[in-house]
Each structure stands twice: as structure tokens, then as C-alpha cells.
Chains A and B, each alone.
Chain A
């Protein structure tokens, strides 16, 4: 059974206790629930989360205005993520087989966000329990979004029962499950993928095209579905969590795409990589290079993801320069045509770039391109 069902199952008794106890104990209930869950799923994951959280909180309590301490904390948090990512042997997991500590990719970025904001003195007044509640929040532990501490704290202090919001949460979970199971797994991965088999001999380019669509749509429905479940589950506990997707297939350019796909991660990279580097270097190219490389390596440390990142860097730069060309000014006179053309080019670029991740190696990707564009 998938881990998401363990989270949903554990959430039922947790929710009953959570809404029965008084406000002061609610955070404790959530933290305890997460600890029990991690203890059962993977004890090392629990230890990594506890040790890193304690280290960050108490170091910041002592030296939160010392730049050297801040840099060391960020580097050590990123280093832990890098260490586990580079050692990962399998990309997906079943219970008990996980190599990467559970949820590390998400909470390490939350921790870095907390360190940055603490240094900038932008964090509202809070205590240790608020901090732990943020990192030990079960609904978003597994698959994000990388929510922000400030908005979390607002909900954490409110904790008001709202039957309409609770019902909204249940609806989001249902839609999330629908996206993952019916749309992603059944309709796209099974039915559409099998249907494409009809074209494998006579129209290999069409077969490859459908396979590319299958991979992109499946990734979207799975990821957006899991995000819906996380957002819905958070709503059941009274928390409003930021959206992670906003119809990425209608993005009219690549910059727009990154404002619609995995929003919490791209905003994180914008805030903590792009903006700081831009303020130092004053160079769009350098800033976009580092932020997309961080974004790519966050997914997986491999040459395929670096190449995928480079493709997006090139596309973002091309779009940046295209904005200042006469062609852009000319097409601007025909906004509908520009929009349609933009959507067509963006979605196809994104799908082709995603195939770089799906294919086994560069040779495989080269063969895919040749077949798709009827070169062979």
C-alpha cells in the first residue's frame, strides 16, 4: 500500500484527538502523531528530522545575527540533503525501502527558509513548539508544498474549527485521489499508454508523441493530486497551505510555466537563490543559471537533471531576450495569436525536456528525438 494511505489512515484518529483537545495541546498532538508515524515508517528519518531541527533552532537562538553561523547552518542543511541525494539508489519507494530520509527534500528547504528569514529578522514572535509544529506537520511532510513559516504561524495561532473549511478539505482530498488514481494511473498511464501501442509499427512518431504526453500528464496528475491531498489534509486540521500548481498547461511562455508548476519550489528558488545572486551579480543569466541548477538538483543529483536544468536555463534566457525583440513587439499586436503560439511552444518544449528525465540515457533521448521529428 502506498504511504499516502498510511498518512490518511493515521490522520483519522489524529483529527479526532486534535479537535477534541484544547488549543494549547493541538500542536503537541500533531507533533506526536508525526513522530509516531516516522517511528513506524523509518526511525533514521525521524532521527535526521529531530537532530537537524534541534540544531537549527537552538543555534539560531544563540547566534541569529552572526553571518558566519547562518552560512554554516545553511551549508550544513544543504549538505545533509546533498549527502543523502547523492547516495540514493532507488527513485521510488515502498514501505521500509527508502534510502532518502522521509520528506527530507521538503523539510530541508523549509529549514533553509526558516534560517534565512530568521537572519533577516522577518519572523514573527514564536516559540519552540511553533517551530517544531512547522517542521513536524504531517500533511505536508511527504510531498510538500514547501510552505512558508509566516503563513503557517498565522493558522497555528488561530486554530479555529470551521465546518465549511473542513468540508473543503475533504473535497480537495477526494479530488486529489481522483487525479492520482483515475486520471493519472488509470486513464493516462494505463489506457492512453496502451492505446498508443496501436501506432508503434506504422506511426512510430505518433507512438513517441503519445508516450511523451502520457509522461507529462501523468507527472502532472500524480504530483498535483498529491498536492491536493496535502492541501486538503491540512485544511482538515485548519491550516491554509499555499497552492503548488496553477494549470501549467496553459502557460504561454517558459517563465509563466515556472509560476504555475511546483510553485512552492520555484518561489523558494526565486527568493533564496535568484534574488540574492541577482543583487550581488546584477546578471540575469548568472542568477537564472544558479536558481535553475538548484531547482534541478533538488529533484535528483544526476547528469540528466543537470541537462534538463540547462535546457530550461537556455529557454528562460531566450525568452528573456525575445521580450526585447522586434518580433515580440510585432506579435504583441495580435495577442490571441501570440498566446496560442506561446502555449503550443511552451507545452511542447516542457514535454520534450521531461523526456530527458524519462529516457534511460542521452542515446535513448537522441533516438526519441529522431523518431519524433521523423529524422530516422
Chain B
């Protein structure tokens, strides 16, 4: 991801954008953590 941003926008912008990108994903993970339960039925491992 970072290398793509780096090639597209250069070092300075890419550094800021990658931080926002990770923060956004982390935010979505955290808000959906309360739905975290065993919803997965795919055989017995």
C-alpha cells in the first residue's frame, strides 16, 4: 500500500496518507469488534 502511495504522491504526502489509511481501517475494526463472535461455520478444525 505504502509503495503505491509513495509512487503516486511522493514521500511526504504518502507518509501522512498511510497513517490516515491505517487509522481508518483500525477505526472500522474497533467499531465492529462488538459484533465479533463465532459466526463462522466451516467445518470442525
Could you tell me if A174 and B25 are in contact, using CB atoms closer than 8 angstroms?
yes
Minimal beta-carbon separation of A316 from chain B (angstroms):
20
Minimal beta-carbon separation of A147 from chain B (angstroms):
16
Interface residues of B in 10-41 (CB under 8 A from A): 22, 25-26, 28-29, 31-33, 35-41
Report whether over half of chain B's contact residues are helix, strand or loop; otherwise say mixed. loop
A300 CB contacts on chain B under 8 angstroms: 43-44
The interface on chain B, measured as residues whose beta carbon lies within 8 A of the other chain's beta carbons, has a size of: 21
Contact of B32 among A2, A93, A185, A222 (CB under 8 A): A185
B2 CB contacts on chain A under 8 angstroms: 167
Minimal beta-carbon separation of B27 from chain A (angstroms):
10
Q: Does A182 contact B (CB under 8 A)?
A: yes
Across the interface, name the chain B residue whose C-beta is closest to A143.
B45
Q: Does A64 contact B (CB under 8 A)?
A: no
Q: Does A150 contact B (CB under 8 A)?
A: no
The interface on chain A, measured as residues whose beta carbon lies within 8 A of the other chain's beta carbons, has a size of: 40
Are A222 and B29 also in contact (CB < 8 A) when A171-B1, A190-B35 are?
no
Could you tell me if B40 and A181 are in contact, using CB atoms closer than 8 angstroms?
no
Across the interface, name the chain A residue whose C-beta is closest to B33.
A181
Could you tell me if B44 and A222 are in contact, using CB atoms closer than 8 angstroms?
no
A105 CB contacts on chain B under 8 angstroms: 44-45
| Interchain CA distance A174-B40 in the complex, whole Å | 19
Q: Which residues of B contact A (CB under 8 A)?
A: 1-2, 22, 25-26, 28-29, 31-33, 35-45
Write 10 A-B pairs (CB below 8 A) sorted by A numbering: A88-B44, A103-B45, A177-B29, A178-B29, A218-B40, A222-B39, A223-B40, A298-B43, A299-B43, A299-B44
The 7 closest A-B pairs by CB, nearest first: A299-B43, A186-B32, A300-B43, A222-B40, A181-B32, A182-B32, A185-B35
